[in-house]
Structure 1
Amino acid sequence: MKENVSKPIYGLTPFTLLDYPHKSACILWFAGCNMRCLYCYNPEIVLGKGSLSFEKILSFLHSRKNLLDAVVFSGGECVLHKNILTLIAKVKKMGFLVKIDTNGSLPDTMQQLLNQNLVDYIALDFKAPKSKFQSITQSDFYDSFEKTLDLMLKIEIPFEVRTTYHSDLLAEEDLREMVHFLENKNFAGNYYIQYFKNNVETLSKLERSNNRIDCEKLSTQTIKIILRE
């Protein structure tokens, strides 16, 4: 446990143009997660230990000042880390934009990050409708997810909502229910669906997903389904 605290980061992606919209970034993959999503394709990160200290990451970021625009905090679940506010504050002071990838299970921590103006972009995972949330995530954090969503709907910084789709776990009716839920929350804009990655190791052994979604059929006047393959 001490090792995981002193070295919270499982790995580093030094450069990406895909994970922060219209920005160059690196990704910090934090070890550990409080969910066990059946389709998770990062079991080594969720179940593994960290290997990089934040001091080493700060050294790397110093060498990338004026070369990268942003730092993406991902995982696992990055906001689980007890020193996450301090770590992000140091990155912000270096002049980087900060994006948080989160499952929404810790709304109080997200509130603190927002209160301190430490986040510039958020990607919130909408795992499943309430009826299937526990079976898919192996957790009972649906209410926490909803609180985080409510929080984000009140803020002025950009954010996105996204769902990973596996045909054995979510039916088209489930996706329609999720869109309806977002509409009732007065969410408007793009809702991103990303297909399950077939032929990769996952937390649970799943059959191949029939990755076919009719985005136009699921979209509404206020919410547009955007597919990320």
Structure 2
Amino acid sequence: MLQKENATKAIFSITPFTLLDYPHKAACILWFTGCNMRCLYCYNPEIVLGKGKISFDEVLSFLTTRKNLLDAVVLSGGECTMHKNLIPFVEQIKALGFDVKVDTNGSHPEVLQQLMHKELIDYVALDFKASESKYKQVTQSDLFSAFEKSLHLLLQNKVPFEVRTTFHSDLIDEPELRSMIRYLESKQYSGNYYIQHFVNEVKTLGDLPRSSREIEKNAFTTRTIQVNFRG
């Protein structure tokens, strides 16, 4: 059965080396196809809408050649937790000795729970797309409650994680960002909150104008949350 699962082509591409995507570790990135959101600012439309090109077996063969050269594997996308064979695949990655980071929109808390219960992941980056009132506008989905469940799971677990938001000035203004920070505080989240600037001049799922960076001039850090702008 595992042989059949591993033949499934769920990966769009592999970034063979990065020092930026997993804190303090040399890693590669596996870009999973498909996503259950359609965020207007998404700059990976070919991954979200495209088909997989690389099988799990091919990934494992690649990773075998990277033992003792890489520390970790980042599962990104798209949305990696959508894939039904993810857990046995991650078990095989862990068996090779790699740490595993998951980039997720939080839409499958049950998968996160299984991964944490089996001690298969070492770090999580959770995308906080928008407040509940603006979530559908930004993501074209009704998945805020799933995101909230994922946040609660991470807060109750020992797996290190970060919360991050992609910022586009037409979608998130200062009051919205402050509302999102208050929401995190209300959930007793503390630590770093990363704001990733939208990359202008790239192809995206939505037809968006240029995004302004004026918001960086304002102070958002609170007593418990350190707001950091990226990009």
* TM-score bracket for this pair, using the shorter chain length: over 0.9
The answer to whether the 8 Å contact 1:215/1:226 transfers is no
- Map Cα deviations across residues 14-70 of structure 1 (whole Å, 9 max, x no partner): 000000000000000000000000000000000000000010110000000000000
Tell me the CA shift for residue 75 of structure 1: 0.2
- Map Cα deviations across residues 95-128 of structure 1 (whole Å, 9 max, x no partner): 0000000000000111011100000000000000
The answer to whether the 8 Å contact 1:71/1:97 transfers is yes
The answer to whether the 8 Å contact 1:14/1:25 transfers is yes
With 215-224 and 196-205 compared, the bigger mean Cα shift is at 215-224
Tell me the CA shift for residue 6 of structure 1: 1.5
- Distance in 2 between residues matched to 1:108 and 1:192, nearest whole Å: 25
- Distance in 1 between residues matched to 2:218 and 2:173, nearest whole Å: 16
| SS of 2:133 mapped into structure 1 | helix
Q: How many residues in Structure 1 have an aligned counterpart in Structure 2?
A: 226
The answer to whether the 8 Å contact 1:92/1:118 transfers is yes
Which residue does 2:44 correspond to in 1? 42
- Map Cα deviations across residues 72-111 of structure 1 (whole Å, 9 max, x no partner): 0000000101100000000001000000000000001110
Which residue does 2:27 correspond to in 1? 25
RMSD: 1.2
Tell me the CA shift for residue 217 of structure 1: 1.2
1:222 lines up with 2:214 in the alignment: no
Find 2:182's aligned residue among 165, 176, 180: 180
Find 1:149's aligned residue among 151, 170, 185: 151
Which residue does 1:80 correspond to in 2? 82
Tell me the CA shift for residue 156 of structure 1: 1.1
Which residue does 2:106 correspond to in 1? 104
- Distance in 2 between residues matched to 1:28 and 1:192, nearest whole Å: 22
Show structure 1 runs of 5+ residues with no match: none
- What amino acid maps onto 2:50 in structure 1? G
* Runs (4+) off by over 6 Å: none
| SS of 2:219 mapped into structure 1 | helix
Show structure 2 runs of 5+ residues with no match: none
1:120 lines up with 2:125 in the alignment: no
- Distance in 1 between residues matched to 2:103 and 2:115, nearest whole Å: 13
The answer to whether the 8 Å contact 2:216/2:229 transfers is no
- What amino acid maps onto 1:143 in structure 2? S
| SS of 2:182 mapped into structure 1 | helix
| SS of 2:113 mapped into structure 1 | helix
- Distance in 1 between residues matched to 2:46 and 2:156, nearest whole Å: 35
Tell me the CA shift for residue 215 of structure 1: 6.7
- What amino acid maps onto 2:79 in structure 1? E
Which residue does 2:172 correspond to in 1? 170
The answer to whether the 8 Å contact 1:215/1:225 transfers is no
- Distance in 2 between residues matched to 1:194 and 1:12, nearest whole Å: 22
- What amino acid maps onto 1:185 in structure 2? K
Identity of aligned residues (%): 59
- What amino acid maps onto 1:78 in structure 2? C
The answer to whether the 8 Å contact 2:116/2:159 transfers is no
- What amino acid maps onto 1:174 in structure 2? E
Which residue does 2:200 correspond to in 1? 198
Find 1:189's aligned residue among 191, 212, 225: 191
